[in-house]
Homo-oligomer: A and B are copies of this chain.
Amino acid sequence: MATMASLFLKTPTPSPSLPKSPLVHFRAGSGRLTPGPARIRCGLIEPDGGKLVDLVVEAPQRDLRKRQATSLPQIKLSKIDIQWVHVLSEGWASPLKGFMRESEFLQTLHFNSLRLVDDGSIVNMSVPIVLAIDDLCKNNIGDSTSVALVDDKDKPIAILNDIEIYKHNKEERIARTWGTTAPGLPYAEEAITHAGNWLIGGDLEVIEPIKYHDGLDRFRLSPAELRDEFTRRNADAVFAFQLRNPVHNGHALLMTDTRRRLLEIGYKNPVLLLHPLGGHTKADDVPLQWRMKQHEMVLEDGVLDPETTVVSIFPSPMHYAGPTEVQWHAKARINAGANFYIVGRDPAGMGHPLEKRDLYDADHGKKVLSMAPGLERLNILPFKVWRQ
């Protein structure tokens, strides 16, 4: 907790410089970070682009869209594709309105950010959210400007409009996203290496909310639902904790201590978003079902206070792309209303697929996060877990 302590002890009373982590020194524009009282007045942090994207078709139009989908060229979605449709449909990637077109794909690979057309402002976007198709599928689409996205039973999931098809350079995508092209990257093996040689971008219309019917859908709150919940609880600060493993004592201590310190520095009701990742993970990670049971027990046992904790599932698939991916994890939580993001050692990291070392420097995640374009409004809380 050394880092956390120094962070707060340096700033005993609320001030604009308060929420900065020691890492933010390189970011001069820190005046943009708002102190507690401002949050109380302003309510929750604004979503990227100013408005939360919602791509789910209004109920009355759904039957029409389903019929329209049947007359369009079809693209069959993988499980991971559907998880991305889910992510896009609820605005986790706001202001992105569908699978990336080439200009968005290139900005993501080279700049980890997007410049908005309307006002030229910058939002963070570090992980490509793209849909791959093969040559046969591309030929089937022909001159159509829209396509239907269907599941493995050919059920229409969404319509992609005003489409753009461009080359899928897998090697470059992998190299720029992971900083390696070593075989054995779980997401690359699952979703890229054997995927098609083309990417198709466009504006998404999702026919109905994505459900998994695995008994956990009740935990899958959308960014809008989370914002409503935080407002209902009168939260004046929301601190998000992303995890893909069971909660251990270090985590629990950290989360309770974070709330205590946020109270100390002037916030009236900081709420914790305990936000396990629910999308595709590598085979040796703990399955979501078990993790959710464990998270519920942590609350039942009173290790975390249910009154000030919201447990929800983050629907994104996992890239294990370290410093690149942690930006996505943080950016998505801004859209869910979080203005504090807790980041630990080697976030979204893993061992190198071929060499006996971690793929990423354990400190690069929080360093990159603290300097990332489009995340200036987010207060980064780095921490170290005691190991005894």
Q: Could you tell me which A residues sit within 8 Å of B by CB distance?
A: 25-30, 102-103, 106-107, 109-113, 115-122, 126, 167, 169, 171-172, 175-176, 178-182, 323-324, 360-361, 364, 367-368, 371-373
A305 CB → nearest B CB, Å: 37
A106 touches B180 (CB 8 A): no
Could you say which residues of chain B place their CB within 8 Å of the CB of A368?
Answer: 106, 110
User: How distant is the Cα of A103 from the Cα of B169 in the complex, in angstroms?
Assistant: 29
Specify which of B120, B172, B175 is in contact with A28 (CB 8 Å cutoff). B120
Could you say which residues of chain B place their CB within 8 Å of the CB of A26?
Answer: 103, 115, 117
Q: For the complex formed by this chain, how many copies does it contain in all?
A: 2
Could you say which residues of chain B place their CB within 8 Å of the CB of A323?
Answer: 106, 110
User: How distant is the Cα of A175 from the Cα of B107 in the complex, in angstroms?
Assistant: 17
Could you say which residues of chain B place their CB within 8 Å of the CB of A181?
Answer: 175, 180-181
A367 touching B106 in the complex, CB below 8 Å, given contacts A172-B179, A178-B175, A181-B180: yes
B28 touches A116 (CB 8 A): yes
User: How distant is the Cα of A106 from the Cα of B365 in the complex, in angstroms?
Assistant: 10
A233 CB → nearest B CB, Å: 33
User: How distant is the Cα of A107 from the Cα of B371 in the complex, in angstroms?
Assistant: 7
Could you say which residues of chain B place their CB within 8 Å of the CB of A117?
Answer: 25-26, 28
User: How distant is the Cα of A377 from the Cα of B171 in the complex, in angstroms?
Assistant: 32
List 10 A-B pairs, minimum CB-CB distance, nearest first: A29-B120, A28-B120, A172-B179, A175-B175, A175-B179, A181-B181, A26-B103, A176-B179, A28-B117, A175-B180
User: How distant is the Cα of A356 from the Cα of B303 in the complex, in angstroms?
Assistant: 59
A118 touches B28 (CB 8 A): yes
B172 touches A106 (CB 8 A): no
B364 touches A324 (CB 8 A): no
A28 touches B119 (CB 8 A): yes
A186 CB → nearest B CB, Å: 17
A10 CB → nearest B CB, Å: 19
Could you say which residues of chain B place their CB within 8 Å of the CB of A373?
Answer: 111, 113, 115, 122, 373
Can you name 13 A-B pairs with beta carbons within 8 Å?
A25-B117, A27-B115, A28-B115, A28-B121, A106-B364, A106-B367, A110-B126, A110-B323, A111-B112, A115-B373, A169-B179, A175-B180, A373-B373
